[in-house]
A and B are shown apart, each in its own frame.
Chain A
Amino acid sequence: MATYSTNEWKGGLKVIYEGDPCVIVENEYVKPGKGQAFNRVRMKNLKTGRQWEKTFKSGEALEGADVVDREMQYLYNDGEFWHFMNTESFEQLQADAKAVEDAAKWLKEEDVCVVTLWNGVPLTVAPPNFVELEIVETDPGVKGDTAGSGGKPAKLSTGAVVKVPLFVQQGEVIKVDTRTGEYHSRVGK
Chain B
Amino acid sequence: MTDWRPGALLPMLQERARLNAALREFFFRRGVLEVETPLLCSSTATDLHLASFPVPPSFAAAGGTRYLQTSPELAMKRLLAAGSGPVYQLGKAFRAGDTGARHNPEFTLLEWYRPGWSLPALMSEVEALLQSVLPPAFRFPAAQRTYRSLFEERFGVNPHMATADELRGLVSVHTSFGEASALAASDCLDLLFSTAIEHSLGAQGPVFVSDFPASQASLSQVCVNADGDRVAQRCEVYLRGMELANGYQELVDAVEQRQRMAADLEERRARGLPTPPLDERFLAALAAGLPACAGVALGVDRLLMLRTGAAALDEVLAFPFSRC
Chain A contact residues, CB within 8 Å of chain B: 7, 28-38, 40, 52-59
Contact = CB atoms under 8 A, between A and B. Distances in A.
B47 to A, nearest CB: 5
A38 B194 contact: yes
Contacts of A53: 176
Nearest to A33: B246
Nearest to A58: B97
B218 interface: yes
24 contacts: A29-B98, A29-B102, A30-B191, A30-B194, A30-B195, A31-B98, A31-B100, A31-B190, A34-B47, A34-B246, A35-B49, A35-B186, A35-B216, A36-B48, A36-B184, A36-B187, A37-B98, A38-B177, A38-B191, A53-B176, A54-B177, A55-B195, A57-B183, A58-B97
A7 B97 contact: yes
B198 interface: yes
Nearest to B192: A32
Query: How many B residues touch the partner, as a band?
Result: 20 to 34
B17 interface: no
A2 B289 CA distance: 52
A32 B190 contact: yes
A33 B184 CA distance: 17
B101 interface: yes
B99 A32 contact: no
A36 B176 contact: no
By Cβ-Cβ distance, the 4 closest A-B pairs, closest first, are A29-B100, A35-B190, A36-B187, A55-B177
B196 to A, nearest CB: 11
Which of A29, A32, A52 neighbours the largest number of chain B CB atoms within 10 Å of its CB? Answer: A32
A29 B96 CA distance: 13
A117 B208 CA distance: 52
A31 to B, nearest CB: 7
Nearest to A35: B190
A34 B98 CA distance: 11
B243 interface: yes
Given A53-B176, A54-B178, A55-B175, A36 B97 contact: no
B176 A55 contact: yes
Given A54-B176, A54-B178, A55-B191, A36 B101 contact: no
Contacts of B97: 7, 37, 58-59
B257 to A, nearest CB: 16
Contacts of A56: 177
Given A34-B246, A36-B186, A29 B101 contact: yes
Contacts of A35: 49, 186-187, 189-190, 194, 216
A34 B297 CA distance: 12
Contacts of B198: 32
A34 B195 contact: no
B218 A32 contact: no
A183 B166 CA distance: 55
B228 to A, nearest CB: 24
B50 interface: yes
A69 B65 CA distance: 46
Contacts of B66: none
